[in-house]
Amino acid sequence: MTISGKTIITGIFGFPVEHTLSPAMHNAAFEAMELDYCYVPFLVHPDKLENAVSAIRAINLRGINITVPHKEKVMEFLDEIHEEALFIGAVNTIVNNAGKLVGFNTDGRGFMRSLGEAGISARDKDVLIVGAGGAARAVGYYLCREAHSLTIYGRTRSRAEGLAEDLRKVGDAVSVSNNFSDIERFHMIINATPLGLKHDDLLPFDTKNLSKEQIVYDLIYKNTRLLEEARAKGCLVLNGSGMLLWQGALAFELWTGELPPVEIMRRALLKAIY
Ligand code: NAP
């Protein structure tokens, strides 16, 4: 990659940011498409987020991904927020249109694309989401319109109830559960908690009653103990690398207006993960 005065800059704001896999994925895509763009990680302290967002305009960055812990707070500093991001209450992608900063959330659509490419449709499925945070909200936004039913399990009942109430504004058949006694009835179970990120984490739920008819999707981008145990039960398993890939591919499209080279991005992402 050669940086010149014409190179268009994109990147990511996070705190911390050193573990991000997005630069590998986006820079590989720019290079493959021979686009004069580059993608840079920026360590942005929460106290400096407003300054950093102003800098997007000041130094003419084309687009920025937003990661933990800034996805919600950043919304205050943008000029316009896309409907989907407003619902989710979080922005993961900013587009700078000649100084006007527009916020998007590509996580939910990224998740649906990853299901689609695995040949899975949520239609006619009873789906359980374990967790009621930002990721649950992003995937729930789409699933509640497609699935036969959607159930939210939340450690904090009030948070799960709040999410279910919001989701009922866009889809039917959304309910809340506070136990896993009927786990056998779900066609698809999604882990949207961080449990499994660390190797000594507890499982988000007991896998003993899983069966080979079920799909288990862990939003964590690596193979987790949950996925290992579900696979041993014969379940179809998916990790979050597909969602991560597609949220990035959708951001790439928003910034460049070009169709993303998804297979190049996938290869770069998997190389960075493993
Ligand atoms: P979040 O907003 O902090 O929400 C986390 C949820 O998990 C909350 O509902 C929380 O419960 C629950 N939880 C946390 N620890 C728990 C525990 N010990 N037992 C039971 N529930 C617990 O986080 P998030 O942004 O939604 O992210 C969740 C996961 O999704 C993370 O692992 C993240 O890596 C993954 N993710 C993946 C992608 C991707 O592209 N693949 C994108 C976004 C997120 P309370 O409500 O009680 O706090």
Instruction: Output DSSP code: residue 7.
Output: P
Domains located in the chain, CATH noted: 8-105+244-273 (3.40.50.10860), 109-239 (3.40.50.720)
CB 36, CB 3: distance < 8 Å: no
The stretch 119-139 carries a mean pLDDT of 96
- The pLDDT, as a whole number, for residue 274 is 86
Report the nearest-CA residue for atom 41 of ligand 1.
Answer: 240
CB 15, CB 45: distance < 8 Å: yes
| Cα 190 to Cα 120: distance, rounded to the nearest angstrom | 13
Report the nearest-CA residue for atom 20 of ligand 1.
Answer: 155
- The pLDDT, as a whole number, for residue 195 is 95
Joined tokens for residue 7: 């190179």
* Nearest ligand 1 atom to alpha carbon 202: 18
Q: Check whether 1 has a pLDDT greater than 80.
A: no
* Nearest ligand 1 atom to alpha carbon 68: 25
- The pLDDT, as a whole number, for residue 204 is 95
Q: With a 6 A CB cut-off, is 63 part of the ligand 1 pocket?
A: no
Percent of the chain topping pLDDT 90 = 97
**Which residues carry out catalysis?**
71
The stretch 255-268 carries a mean pLDDT of 98
User: Exposed, middle or buried: residue 199 (CB in 10 Å: 0-12, 13-18, 19+)?
Assistant: exposed
Q: What's the length of the chain? A: 274
Reported confidence tier of residue 200, pLDDT bands at 50, 70, 90? confident
For residue 64, CA distances in Å to 33, 180, 229, 236 come to: 19, 39, 37, 34
Reported confidence tier of residue 201, pLDDT bands at 50, 70, 90? confident
Element (H, E) at 232: helix 225-232
- The pLDDT, as a whole number, for residue 55 is 98
Q: With a 6 A CB cut-off, is 108 part of the ligand 1 pocket?
A: no
pLDDT tens digits, 172-193: 899 999 999 999 999 999 999 9
pLDDT mean across residues, the chain: 96
DSSP string, 69-134: T-TTGGGGG-SEE-HHHHHHT--SEEEEETTEEEEE--HHHHHHHHHHHTT---BT-EEEEE--SH
- The pLDDT, as a whole number, for residue 38 is 98
| Cα 270 to Cα 149: distance, rounded to the nearest angstrom | 32
pLDDT tens digits, 141-172: 999 999 999 999 999 999 999 999 999 999 98
- The pLDDT, as a whole number, for residue 260 is 98
Taking the alpha carbons of 165, 244, 64, 47 in that order, is the dihedral positive or negative? Answer: positive
Reported confidence tier of residue 87, pLDDT bands at 50, 70, 90? very high
Cis peptide before 260 (omega within 30 of 0): no
Q: With a 6 A CB cut-off, is 154 part of the ligand 1 pocket?
A: yes
